[in-house]
């Protein structure tokens, strides 16, 4: 999330309530949707626009309709990136929201879910490296990266959970060449199931 391409597709300005509701999980305000009786949970690690983005909530509701309990926590604690803030460009904003902070919060959310009886937790990350960090720490049972950012080959070497990487052909941050390197690394990890797909004519963040 270090370049302007990450910010080229901002959400609509009106937050959506979605089909779910808000509750506290791991000390974070979280949008939750789906049956609380499901033992399978998917955590959405949002992009810079946070958990109020209407499309993100729509996607969360769609995944929930497939039988999962879905959680989109506010990892930015009310301080999502504002594209029109000239005094705080993305590089400045990132200084307050590094992956290390989001990882600690993500770990707390995972632990809260598992303490409530959830048997398996997957994580889907929109642009954010936190999903990989959760997988490297063996905290989740499945991982999905969508137009990844800040992810290195060494990160992929440490992945411990089954992983899908869905990238964009037009991507300055994680270009197809990098994703192909990820694919090479994953092909050597016989203990981890994996899937890599690059979507043609699609830009980062779309």
Q: In CATH, what number is assigned to the domain containing residue 138? A: 3.40.50.1820
Helix or strand or coil: residue 144? strand
How high is the pLDDT of residue 2? 46
How high is the pLDDT of residue 55? 86
Low-confidence residues of the chain: pLDDT under 70: 1-17, 206
CA 64 to chain centre: 16
How high is the pLDDT of residue 7? 58
Domain that holds residue 16: 4-203
**pLDDT digits over 32-59, tens only?**
999 989 999 999 998 888 898 888 899 9
How high is the pLDDT of residue 9? 54
Based on the number of CB atoms within 10 Å of its own CB, is 3 exposed (0-12), middle (13-18) or buried (19 or more)? middle
The tally of domains found in the chain comes to 1
């Amino acid at each position: 999330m270090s370049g302007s391409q990450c910010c080229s597709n901002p959400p609509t300005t009106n937050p959506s309530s979605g089909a779910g509701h808000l509750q506290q999980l791991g000390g974070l305000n979280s949008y939750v949707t789906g049956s609380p009786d499901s033992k399978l949970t998917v955590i959405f690690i949002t992009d810079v626009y946070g958990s109020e983005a209407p499309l993100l909530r729509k996607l969360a509701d769609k995944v929930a309709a497939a039988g999962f309990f879905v959680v989109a926590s506010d990892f930015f604690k009310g301080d999502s990136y504002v594209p029109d803030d000239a005094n705080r460009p993305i590089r400045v904003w990132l200084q307050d929201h590094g992956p290390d902070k989001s990882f600690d919060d993500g770990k707390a959310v995972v632990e809260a879910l598992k303490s409530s009886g959830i048997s398996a937790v997957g994580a889907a990350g929109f642009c954010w490296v936190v999903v990989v960090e959760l997988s490297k720490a063996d905290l989740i049972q499945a991982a999905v990266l969508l137009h990844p950012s800040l992810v290195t080959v060494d990160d992929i070497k440490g992945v411990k959970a089954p992983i899908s990487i869905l990238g964009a052909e037009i991507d300055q941050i994680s270009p197809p060449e990098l994703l192909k390197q990820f694919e090479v690394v994953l092909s050597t990890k016989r203990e981890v199931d994996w899937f890599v797909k690059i979507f043609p004519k699609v830009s980062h963040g779309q």
